[in-house]
Chain A
Amino acid sequence: MLERSLVFQLISAFIVSFSFAILTNSPSKSLLYCGINGMCGWFVNILLLRFGFTQILSVFFAALAINVLSEIFARFLKNPVPIFLIPGLIPLVPGAGMYYTMTSLLKSQFDLAIKTGMQTLLIAGSIAVAIMLVTSFNWVFSALNKKVELK
């Protein structure tokens, strides 16, 4: 199957992040890096899924990788971190979960709606926790560096 091959998936993730960066009017120099960021995140996600991790954990580690890469790109290209972070995270957004929650609500299947809704919230939460971890570690390190300079 063409759609299932790894290379095809990675190219798709690259194009999704690249085009989403254009939709948010990112600077034209950063577009390529946004695409690379999205591609790496999707690679981590799909690799962990194939090794049998749960969806929540693989999204967590993918978001972690994307955030670390964004911090590196931001230092390297002297641009704010969110410019690289936002397009990179787009392929991981649990759109499917939101859709199936909505359709099961339409059919009044409330037990199914709660189950898929909780799973969607947990995936979104794991993205949030990954961003929190990297960002707060980064701020701790920069605070430590400043103190060393003052001495």
Chain B
Amino acid sequence: MMNSKQLIEIALLAGEIMLTNGAETHRVEDTMVRICSKGKLKLAESFVIPTVIVATVADENNNLVTVSKRIKNRTIDLNKISLVNQFSRDFQTHEYTYEQAIEILNNIKNKKGYSSYLLPFTAALVCCFSTILFGGNLKDAISAFLVGFVTQSILNFMNSRNFSYFISYIIGGATTALVAIITVNLNIGVHLDKIIIGSVMIMTPGVAITNAIRDTIAGDLLSGVARGIEAFLIAVFIATGAGIALSLFR
């Protein structure tokens, strides 16, 4: 049987993994409360916004424990969210010890995603085929493939060096437009607009938009507004970057 301190430590680690990898805030709150409900607690509350986790539990003797955790850098790794979700379900049915639970969560935290050599190729595929969806021809698709490959390589590099997201999206947008202009001038591509529209797709803030809407419906207005602004700003940054490159080099 775990005491309240150990339970809240497990819940905090689980919540941290979920929030840093792009889960909605109500899902994080639910998971943390579900993990805490395993013990005999009088009270288990959690409050989560995209940058902070706060949780409080009280045991039978009214000993209150409150912990908080500041979340600084956020990435997107939906696999980890799925794994922690699975863990919180197993945690209720199985009898884990404290050490086992922490070890499982640490393994999830340190799990590597898809190989970084694979990402530029998949990004290039996204660009190539979304150019076709938006009405480009085969020549445009080939040049969008090149654009996606270069842009995602640069984005990967900037992510590994922890650039601020403001700078990385502006540089990403500028790279997209620049490489597209070069390919059109080399006569690889034909329609500049369609190549850029298709290639910008790899940077779309899909996670931020979806989470903003789902958070708002769940009643987490603070998180909903914060993520909505984030998504809008990312779109503006990409447009700014592409606009700078277009007006300078065309």
Contacts and interface: CB of A to CB of B under 8 A. Distances in A.
A27 B111 CA distance: 12
Nearest to A86: B206
Interface in B213-250: 213-214, 216-217, 235, 238-239, 242-243, 246-247
Contact of A79 (B82, B114, B136, B197): B82
A33 to B, nearest CB: 13
A106 interface: yes
A12 B78 contact: no
Interface string A92-128: 0101101111110110000000000000000010011
A3 B134 CA distance: 10
B19 interface: no
Given A15-B129, A16-B201, A20-B126, A25 B114 contact: yes
Given A96-B134, A99-B193, A82 B24 contact: yes
B64 to A, nearest CB: 30
B186 interface: no
A98 B193 CA distance: 11
B130 interface: yes
Given A19-B122, A98-B239, A136 B217 contact: yes
Contacts of A93: 201, 204, 206
> Which of A19, A79, A93, A128 lies at the interface centre, i.e. has the most chain B CB atoms within 10 A of its CB?
A19
Interface size class of B (residues with CB under 8 A): 35 or more
A23 B81 contact: no
A16 B210 contact: no
Main secondary structure of the interface of A (DSSP, over half): helix
A131 B133 contact: no
Identify which of B81, B132, B137, B207 gathers the most chain A CB atoms within 10 Å of its CB: B132
Nearest to B239: A102
B39 interface: no
B154 interface: no
B243 to A, nearest CB: 5
A104 to B, nearest CB: 11
A69 interface: no
Contacts of B78: 24-27, 80, 82-83, 86
B6 to A, nearest CB: 26
A93 to B, nearest CB: 5
Nearest to B132: A12
B242 A102 contact: yes
How many residues of A sit at the interface, in one of the four size bands? 35 or more
A83 B86 CA distance: 14
Contact of B82 (A22, A83, A95, A102): A83
Nearest to B214: A135
A90 interface: yes
A36 interface: no
A26 B76 CA distance: 9
B96 to A, nearest CB: 19
Given A3-B136, A102-B239, A102-B242, A23 B122 contact: yes
A146 B167 CA distance: 47
8 contacts: A15-B129, A23-B122, A23-B123, A25-B79, A30-B82, A78-B86, A78-B89, A91-B130
Q: Please list the 6 inter-chain residue pairs (A to B) with the smallest Cβ-Cβ separation, ordered nearest first.
A: A25-B113, A12-B129, A19-B122, A25-B77, A19-B125, A102-B239
